[in-house]
Amino acid sequence: MPTEKQKRDRYFIKTYGCQMNINDSNKMIEILESRGYQPSEIGKAHIIIINSCTVRQNAENKAFWYAKSVQHYKKNKPYIKIVFCGCVAEDKKDEIQKLLPHVDLFIPPNNPGKIEEVLEGGNRRMRVEGRGGVTAFVNIMTGCDNFCSYCIVPYVRGREKSRRPEEILAEIRALPTNVKEITLLGQNVNSYKYGFAALLRKIKGVERIRFLTSHPKDMSDDIIEAVAKLPNVCEHIHLPIQHGDDDILKAMNRKYTVDDFKRTVEKIRNKIPGVAITSDMIIGFPGETEKQFENCVRTARELSFDSIITTIFSPRPKTTAAKMDNQVPEKTKKERLQKIMKVVDEIALSINEKLVGTTQEILVEDFMNSEYMGRTRTNKIVKFKSAKSGLRGKLLNVTIKSARSFILKGDL
């Protein structure tokens, strides 16, 4: 019979925010599973982990209230450990530690190894090789030096630090064999200290390589060339423009103009046939006039992105933009967001409709609700039905039968 201590081997993890946070969570999961812990629903967990995000106020509030709400699990089971990690744990350390006294451990971002401090049970079995996933994230750098005026990342994740290529390549070689696709992660991979294009050229033995995120000012010809030439690098570039008006871009401290951005997009499209370009836009930045918003909509149309993640500006503490006194009223921000989302949807749909009838190579990632789900090299989600089992992890050709703005359906 296992002892009470040995039975304490279940964890539950809730992650808010970006791929960097997902990656930190994955690392913690890896550590937990290598110690014999298993995932469970929250009510049965012995370790509850909340990985928070502070990029927007809404995300920060959600993580905080979630962490507050889990304290009742400790009433009957005082041995449960609650862990609060991520950007909020760093940004509001002193305040949050007072507000969440039931939390046992606070972990700042980029430090998933600290989870070891709460591990006590588990059956200490050998390291579990992989978690069945066919895709994996690989961090190549942390932090950011850019100080965009709206962004809290440099304050909570610190200055830019690049990992050495040998270390990254060793991590990639050690990935389980079922991993077919990797995504190289960093706040600005284009400024990777040891040369991002050179790193791409050194990666071998992986079917597909993606990367996130790119700063337009650092998207060099060499990187574009590497994406164009290397067969395992996917034809998808996420290039956040953030706004379509030069004065707003200046106030955002983005260090490029709309024309600079257009030239970069033109180069990418000329060099990489069939490439998908996706972007981010922030609506309602302080001082944004109706005309500047219209410039943003026009730019979105002109650049015809495959998709754009549009978000409302959210003032973050410590940032320059939060201190600007010309904040746009919430109501106006919401109305503008609705308008631009409609345009973004129309563009995405018209691009996706052109794929109907074509055959796309997809990597099958999952099987849910009687359908397989995979992604094209251009990162479009494709769903298809098949009576065959075991297709997860396979690269297959699927003929696209119908399209919506964010999803394609097809047949094997």
Binding site for ligand SF4 (CB under 6 A): 144, 146-148, 151, 153-154, 187-188, 215
Smallest distance from ligand SF4 to CB 206, Å: 26
Q: What are phi and psi of 352, to 5 degrees?
A: -65, -35
Which residue, 100 or 212, has its beta carbon nearer to ligand SF4? Answer: 212
Distances in Å between the alpha carbon of 5 and those of 124, 216, 350, 401? Answer: 12, 52, 57, 54
Q: State the Cα–Cα distance between residues 206 and 180, nearest whole angstrom.
A: 6
Cβ atoms within 10 Å, residue 86: 31
Q: How far is the CB of 46 from ligand SF4 (least distance, A)?
A: 35
Between the alpha carbon of residue 172 and those of residues 67, 84, 127, 213, the distances in Å are 34, 28, 17, 19
User: Which phi and psi angles does 183 have, rounded to 5°?
Assistant: -120, 120
Beta carbon of residue 315, minimum distance to ligand SF4 (angstroms, whole number) = 14
Nearer to ligand SF4, 154 or 410 (CB): 154
Residue with tokens 């703005």: 405
Contact 25, 131 (CB under 8 A): no
Residue 52 Cβ vs ligand SF4, minimum distance, rounded to whole Å: 17
C-beta closer to ligand SF4: residue 15 or 191:
191
At 327, list the tokens.
């904040």
Nearer to ligand SF4, 148 or 364 (CB): 148
Cis peptide before 213 (omega within 30 of 0): yes
Q: How far is CA 198 from the centre of its chain?
A: 23
Which tokens in the block code for residue 177? 């064999």
Rounded to the nearest whole angstrom, what is the least distance from the CB of residue 93 to ligand SF4 in the complex? Answer: 20
Nearer to ligand SF4, 110 or 352 (CB): 110
- Nearest to ligand SF4 of 140, 144 (CB atom): 144
Shortest reach from residue 146's CB to ligand SF4, in Å:
4
CB environment 300-331: b (16+ within 10 A), e (fewer): beebebbbbebbbbbebeebebbeeeebbeee
Rounded to whole angstroms, the Cα distance separating 224 from 397 reads 26
Q: State in angstroms the smallest separation of the CB of 228 from ligand SF4.
A: 24
Q: How far is the CB of 185 from ligand SF4 (least distance, A)?
A: 12
Helices (H), 115-194: 153-157, 165-173
Closest residue by Cα to residue 367 from 327, 394, 397, 406: 394
As a whole number of angstroms, the distance between CA 273 and CA 61 comes to 42
Closest approach of ligand SF4 to the CB of residue 253, in Å: 8
Q: How far is the CB of 375 from ligand SF4 (least distance, A)?
A: 24
Nearer to ligand SF4, 213 or 352 (CB): 213
Work out how close the CB of 381 gets to ligand SF4 at its nearest, in angstroms, rounded to a whole number.
25
Say if CB 285 and CB 244 are below 8 A apart.
no
Let me know: does 348 contact 372? Beta carbons within 8 Å. Answer: no
Angle between helices 290-303 and 330-353 (to 10 degrees): 10
H helices of 52-191, in order, are: 57-69, 73-76, 87-91, 93-99, 153-157, 165-173
Nearer to ligand SF4, 121 or 240 (CB): 240
**Nearer of residues 110 and 188 to ligand SF4, judged by Cβ:** 188
Beta-bridge mates of residue 406: none
Of 67 and 282, which CB lies nearer to ligand SF4 in the complex structure? 282
- Our CB check for ligand SF4 shows the closer of 187 and 352 to be 187
